[in-house]
Structure 1
Amino acid sequence: MSLRGTTGGGGDTFLGGRVAHSYSWMNASTPSVLRIGDRTFDSNLFLSPIAGFYDLPFRLSIRPLGGLGLAYTELVNPKGLLRQTARSMQIVESCPEDRPWAVQLYGTEEDGLDIGAKWAADHGAALVDINMGCPVPKVAGKGGGSGLLRSCPNAVRLAEKVVNASPVPVTVKTRLGWEMGNLVTPRLVQDLEDVGVAALTIHGRYGEQRFKGSVDLEGIRAVAQAARTIPVIGNGDIRSADDAKRMIEVTGCAGVMIGRWAMADNWIFRDTRSLLETGDVPPPPTRAQRVHKMIDHFEHARRHLGDRRAVVNFRKYMTWYGKQISPCPTLRRGIPLCRDVDEWYGLVHAFLAEIQAERESPEALGRRAGVEASPASLG
């Protein structure tokens, strides 16, 4: 499937009923390839910077599944980087297997985002992203995140300062505006282009909405239409490959950034890329395969966090993994109460044994035999 639709005369492309110019970041031969500034990514599917969840162990666990073009760190304040606080250094931890990656910075002009951008580039970041979208009070209430949308001139001035300091392309992740219904980002994206921002990711809600309501695809579309030279990446409410495909088709965005649902379905990037490029989604993984991927994540956490922290840290992931492997009441109840690695593995291995027993039950064997002997399977 072509990312940007069919090509018209004069090098234009049709985007959901409108005609747009062929932009420099498009690649007609491989439509899922996306260029941002002087960087090229082999997929237009990005992992969102979800605070508290998308750390190095998680990123390492999903990259081998395929389809992921770029992963972002959790948001980090440059002051913590410069002081090298333990939490800040954990957020930006990476390794050669975690490539390509981007560091997302948040704060105001007084927080030294320009210095933070230099630090990120020096430590291997492919991009530096400015968070202009976080709606939580401790960020937005201090003028950072989506609080910057209350004063777009300040947001543009901050972006220009970071662009001028950064050796790598600078991008922005933001929302439609702050106040519900006050759509400011179509104008903002043009102002950001003018100061050198290389791409913009737009979450289809307003700041004061936080995470309530549904994503406004028409709002995302308005931002994508307003951009003159840079790619716009859509974000919000993507829970399947079909959701991602629909966002691209309806809004004309250059790609999508997937957030929390990557925890509920680790294979969503693989499936989305396949759907966009071939029109088909591969067969889903089995429950056992999903459990083994959870184990892989846990082992990465043990290596990078240590056994005790890995056990404690994994408690918050169980709700999301439970969506992949449900029904799993023993895991949902037991993992958050685990005290050590042996207890964790005891629960998980017992659950794998339950899955195997279900597969070998007379009822399951009968169902599989019926499928194998069905006229469709024989023909």
Structure 2
Amino acid sequence: MNYSHFTKPIKIGKATLPNRIFYSPLAGCSDFPFRKMSAKYKPGLQYCEMVKMDALVRNDENTFRILDYDQSMRPIGAQLCGSKPEYAAESARRIEDLGFDVIDLNCGCPVDKVTKDGSGSGLLKNPEKIGAIIRKMVEAVSIPVTIKIRAGWDDDSIVVEEITKIAEEAGAYAIAVHARTREQGYHGPARWDFITRAVKARNNILVIGNGDLFSPEAASDMIQATGCDALLVSRGIMGNPWIAEDIFHYFNGESPKKRTFLDRKEALLEHLDFAANYYESKKAAIEMRKVGCWYIKDAGGARAFRGLVTKAESVEEMRKLIEEHPFTAE
């Protein structure tokens, strides 16, 4: 099937996005260097890591640091996390004042430290509160408000249809459905039928499919299976910042570029340069420990490399390890 329209512009509220392949906010991963690298491959939208509404309203310095971006990353989205409607309007206004193109409400994060106060996927237990928060955000800003959810807290409380309708009525322009429950975490295959259920429940809100998008073929299969309007790639970006470009080629009937382990090594060095230009040397090296493992996971010598990079204490040390380690194709 031809999905070339996914490579063309789409309008969400007053925002015109260049295509329908979006990159998720990834807590602890999608920092400034990560997004600099991703921007090279032209996703239709990418997000900063999620931030807490109350921290933003308190003017927390670290929270504003998470929201750093530059013009190469546009269109750029911010994702808010919180369970208190009284913070929704002010935090949304602050995001708009920072120049973001889109604001997203996180109703999907499954980790205990987020859900314990009812935030993230904890909000799935209170759909009406989700509606109240979105409504306050929509009333406060002119940029489009979207929402990301999981299908439900567990298999006994699937709320995907209900929240799709509530979000639409509250004024959200799009809903991204991670096709797992909170109880699943990231275990087991994504259940794309949850996305289909959102598509069938909506009137006008755009439905964005999310879950197990690790290849262009999976992207095509998701669209065919669900009828979703756009795609949100999450873990599939890690070590593969070019996945949007690969999907574009595939959807246009072209073969995606074959990337060798040497290509991946060069990309890793480029990512290191972005980190070195953003963080001080030791911090950059620490952040690159995990990043390095993403890029070379399928190369021969990867296990030995992982053991070495955990000890790197500077950009220079990290660069030397990457350049001199004897990777081989597997």
CA 1:326–1:82: 2 relative to 1, 3 Å: farther
CA displacement 1:26-67 (0-9 Å, x = unmatched): xx6x7643221121111111111110000111110121134x
Q: Where in structure 2 are the equivalents of 1:291-306 lying within 5 Å?
A: 291-306=265-280
Partners of 1:228 and 1:285 in 2: CA distance: 41
**Are 1:107 and 2:113 an aligned pair?**
no
Partner of 1:120: 95
SS of 1:116's equivalent in the other structure is helix
CA 1:313–1:282: 2 relative to 1, 3 Å: same
- Which amino acid counterpart does residue 204 of structure 1 have in structure 2? A
Q: Quote the offset at 1:329 in angstroms.
A: 3.4
SS of 1:112's equivalent in the other structure is helix
Q: CA contact under 8 A between 2:92 and 2:137: conserved in structure 1?
A: yes
Over the residues paired in the alignment, what is the CA RMSD in angstroms?
Answer: 1.9
CA 1:273–1:328: 2 relative to 1, 3 Å: same
SS of 1:239's equivalent in the other structure is coil
Partner of 1:56: 32
**Are 1:42 and 2:18 an aligned pair?**
yes
- Which amino acid counterpart does residue 198 of structure 2 have in structure 1? V
Partner of 1:362: none
Q: Quote the offset at 1:344 in angstroms.
A: 1.1
Partners of 1:181 and 1:267 in 2: CA distance: 38
Q: CA contact under 8 A between 1:102 and 1:125: conserved in structure 2?
A: yes
Q: CA contact under 8 A between 1:3 and 1:254: conserved in structure 2?
A: no
SS of 2:34's equivalent in the other structure is helix
Q: Where in structure 2 are the equivalents of 1:84-233 lying within 5 Å?
A: 84-110=59-85, 112-233=87-208
Larger Rg: 1
Partners of 1:65 and 1:128 in 2: CA distance: 22
Q: Quote the offset at 1:131 in angstroms.
A: 0.3
Q: CA contact under 8 A between 1:186 and 1:226: conserved in structure 2?
A: yes
User: 4+ residue stretches of structure 1 with deviation over 3 A?
Assistant: 1-4, 324-327
Q: Quote the offset at 1:342 in angstroms.
A: 2.2
SS of 1:323's equivalent in the other structure is coil
Partners of 1:181 and 1:233 in 2: CA distance: 23
CA displacement 1:95-141 (0-9 Å, x = unmatched): 11221100000001256122111111111110000001111111112
| Equivalent of residue 280 in structure 1, options 254, 274, 283 | 254
Give aligned pairs, total. 329
CA displacement 1:268-324 (0-9 Å, x = unmatched): 111112112x23332312222211111111111111112111011111223312225
CA displacement 1:198-254 (0-9 Å, x = unmatched): 100000011222222221111111111211102100111111111111111100011
- Which amino acid counterpart does residue 57 of structure 1 have in structure 2? P
Partners of 1:46 and 1:131 in 2: CA distance: 15
| Equivalent of residue 319 in structure 1, options 283, 293, 308 | 293
Partners of 1:279 and 1:224 in 2: CA distance: 26
- Which amino acid counterpart does residue 322 of structure 2 have in structure 1? V
Q: What are structure 2's unaligned runs of at least 5 residues?
A: none
Partners of 1:327 and 1:340 in 2: CA distance: 21
Give the structure-2-normalised TM-score. 0.94
Of stretches 170-179 and 323-332 in structure 1, the one that deviates more from structure 2 is 323-332
Q: Quote the offset at 1:331 in angstroms.
A: 2.2
SS of 2:146's equivalent in the other structure is strand
Percent sequence identity is 30
| Equivalent of residue 260 in structure 1, options 231, 235, 243 | 235
Of stretches 42-51 and 261-270 in structure 1, the one that deviates more from structure 2 is 261-270
